[in-house]
């Protein structure tokens, strides 16, 4: 071990066995990581909601109070925590155990060298995904700004001409035809103004950058 393969990573170790929890934390520190610990899913959720979000969660499945499956359901239902990468750890190799929604599944007893490699791979993949998503969002925002600019230019002329027409056909005319023209122009002005408001809002808050 070079002692630096996990340097800078913040990890949350969720494990009910105190000996495993502390030994694993010590080994992770030797690799340069900064681990925090929890003895069950309930403690893990409290830690996640009150401390800095970790780069990855190492999750034992068989635990009292709140097991790994219950924790995973709660984590994924919380928008602020749902995207944290997670590696499940268990001696149970059944289909049910391996079906847990996790980025990787490690069998106990742990092969620490293999675990370190898997942690590095999962974290690197998560970083790549975030960078790709950020690039897509930025490109979409720029495209939206270009489209808004192309819409605004002709819309300015449309509104200017509609306002001229509105002045030529004022409300309250005794001529039914002129009154009808006034109503049509007023509807057109209202629609064009609505388009302008939508475009302005899209420029201020591009759809790709909104949180859903």
3-state secondary structure of 110: coil
Largest CA distance in the chain: 92
Six token digits for residue 124:
């690197």
Query: Residue 142 pLDDT > 70, yes or no?
Result: no
Q: Is the pTM of this model over 0.85?
A: no
pLDDT classification of 137: cutoffs 50, 70, 90: low
CA pair distance 185, 181, nearest whole angstrom: 6
- Please give the full DSSP string across 46-85, using - where no structure is assigned: HHHHHSPPPSEEEEESS-SSS-HHHHHHHHHHSTTTTTS-
Contact criterion met (CB below 8 Å) for 56 and 119: yes
pLDDT score recorded for residue 13: 96
For 10-55, how does the pLDDT look when each residue is reduced to its tens digit (9 = 90+)?
999 999 999 999 999 999 999 999 999 999 999 999 999 999 999 9
Each residue's pLDDT tens digit, 82-128? 889 999 998 887 777 777 878 888 888 988 988 999 999 899 888 78
Q: How far is CA 194 from CA 189, 191, 198, in A?
A: 9, 5, 6
| Torsion angle (degrees, nearest 10) of CA 180, 183, 184, 188 | 170
Query: With contact defined as beta carbons under 8 Å apart, do 70 and 25 qualify?
Result: no
158-210 pLDDT tens trace: 888 888 888 888 877 768 888 888 889 888 988 988 888 887 776 666 554 44
Give the Cα separation of 193 and 13 in Å (integer).
55
């Amino acid at each position: 071990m070079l002692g630096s393969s996990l340097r800078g990573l913040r990890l949350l170790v969720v494990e009910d066995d105190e000996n495993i929890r502390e030994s694993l934390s010590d080994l992770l520190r030797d690799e340069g990581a900064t681990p925090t610990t929890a003895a069950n899913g309930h403690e893990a959720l409290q830690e996640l909601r009150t401390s800095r979000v970790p780069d990855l969660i190492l999750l034992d499945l068989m635990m009292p109070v709140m097991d790994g499956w219950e924790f995973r359901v709660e984590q994924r239902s919380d928008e602020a925590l749902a995207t944290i990468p997670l590696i499940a750890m268990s001696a149970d190799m059944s289909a049910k155990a391996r079906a847990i929604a996790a980025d990787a599944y490690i069998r106990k007893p742990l092969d620490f060298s293999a675990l370190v490699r898997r942690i590095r791979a999962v974290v690197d993949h998560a970083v790549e995904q975030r960078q790709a998503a950020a690039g897509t969002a930025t490109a979409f925002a720029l495209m939206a700004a270009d489209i808004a600019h192309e819409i605004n230019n002709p819309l300015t002329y449309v509104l200017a001409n509609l306002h001229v027409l509105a002045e030529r056909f004022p409300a309250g005319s005794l001529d039914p035809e002129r009154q009808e023209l006034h109503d049509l122009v007023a509807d057109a002005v209202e629609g064009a103004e609505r388009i302008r408001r939508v475009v302005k809002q899209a420029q201020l808050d591009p759809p790709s950058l909104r949180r859903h």
